[in-house]
């Protein structure tokens, strides 16, 4: 994919102007900021729509800044056109409205009215790029903006430079059953099998239950999984915070294929 954003400063300026920048005591940053790296190829995969129950949290009508918002009973048939923005570092690792953790490298989004979770296809009407995201958060609470995208989703839509883009948001149709895709979390990779095994043995006991090693073209990969997508998102946040900051997700169909973004031993 073409690298967007001429400089990190350009991205940061656009985000401060357009993103979620309200002050909130639970955040360590006053304003949102750009991430330190671009998404990997695995992180740019569309969210895989699966039929799942609505969350216990985040699906009641609510009030923000004195304005009341109604939550739709269903996303079926939903179509909307308007401005999209994106959010990043300030919110990364914090709870979303449905009780998950926000990961700016996952294909997720925030919407004011859609039930949580919902799956929508977002199309950038300025370049016809599209992405499927899982809506698991509320926002954006800015006039004339209809959806807040994760950093990875915004990158895929090539809207980082401007910070916003005119988009169409269309709910995924579930009339045809969709296959469930499972994910692995890649923790570590090395050409030295003993090193991989040593890292595996040092993992917490509850991680070792799901740990497996795959070999591909002389590279040994240490993986956790498989997990459903929502669980993989939560697990990825956990492992990054507990000693594997470069960990990333791979689909179950990808683990035996070539992998250029391996977290390699140096």
In a domain, 53, yes or no: yes
117-143 mean pLDDT: 95
Q: How confident is the model at residue 40 (pLDDT cuts 50, 70, 90)?
A: very high
Domain boundary among 132, 152, 171: 171
Question: Would you state the pLDDT for residue 232?
Answer: 81
The Cα-based distances of 140 to 101, 152, 176, 179 in angstroms read 17, 17, 31, 31
Q: How confident is the model at residue 25 (pLDDT cuts 50, 70, 90)?
A: very low
Angle ∠(7,12,18) on CA atoms, nearest 5:
130
Alpha-carbon span 148 to 139, nearest angstrom: 6
Domain boundary among 140, 171, 202: 171
**pTM, two decimal places:** 0.60
Q: How confident is the model at residue 221 (pLDDT cuts 50, 70, 90)?
A: very high
Q: Which domain holds residue 81?
A: 8-171
**57 pLDDT higher than 70:** yes
32-38 mean pLDDT: 72
Question: Would you state the pLDDT for residue 229?
Answer: 72
62 with 160, same domain?
A: yes
In a domain, 265, yes or no: no
In a domain, 259, yes or no: no
β pairing state of 79-87 and 165-171: antiparallel
Q: Find residue 119's DSSP bridge partners.
A: 134
162-184 mean pLDDT: 80
Question: Would you state the pLDDT for residue 266?
Answer: 31
The long-range contacts involving 4-9, CB below 8 angstroms and separated by at least 24 positions, are 4/155, 4/158, 4/160, 4/161, 5/160, 5/161, 6/161, 8/34
Q: How far apart are the first and last CA of the chain?
A: 26
């Amino acid at each position: 994919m073409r690298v967007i954003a001429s400089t990190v400063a350009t991205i940061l300026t656009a985000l401060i102007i357009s993103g979620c920048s309200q002050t909130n005591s639970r955040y360590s940053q006053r304003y949102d900021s750009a991430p330190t790296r671009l998404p990997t190829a695995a992180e740019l995969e569309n969210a895989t729509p699966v039929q799942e129950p609505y969350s216990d949290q985040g699906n009641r009508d609510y009030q923000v800044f004195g304005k009341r918002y109604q939550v739709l009973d269903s996303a079926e048939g939903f179509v909307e056109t308007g401005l999209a923005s994106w959010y990043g570092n300030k919110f990364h690792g914090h709870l979303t409205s449905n009780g998950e953790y926000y990961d700016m490298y996952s294909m997720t989004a925030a919407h004011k009215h859609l039930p949580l979770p919902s799956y929508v296809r977002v199309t950038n009407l300025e370049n016809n790029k599209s992405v499927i995201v899982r809506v698991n958060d509320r926002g954006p609470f800015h006039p004339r903006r209809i959806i807040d995208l994760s950093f990875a989703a915004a990158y895929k839509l090539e809207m980082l430079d401007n910070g916003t883009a005119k988009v169409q948001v269309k709910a995924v149709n579930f009339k045809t059953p969709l296959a469930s895709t499972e994910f692995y979390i890649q923790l570590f990779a090395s050409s030295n099998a003993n090193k991989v095994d040593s890292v595996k043995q040092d993992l917490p006991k509850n991680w070792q239950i799901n740990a497996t090693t795959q070999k591909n073209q002389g590279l040994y990969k240490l993986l956790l999984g498989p997990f459903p997508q929502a669980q993989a998102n939560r697990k990825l946040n956990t492992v990054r915070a507990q000693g594997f900051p470069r960990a990333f997700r791979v689909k179950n169909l990808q683990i035996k294929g070539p992998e250029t973004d391996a977290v390699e031993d140096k």
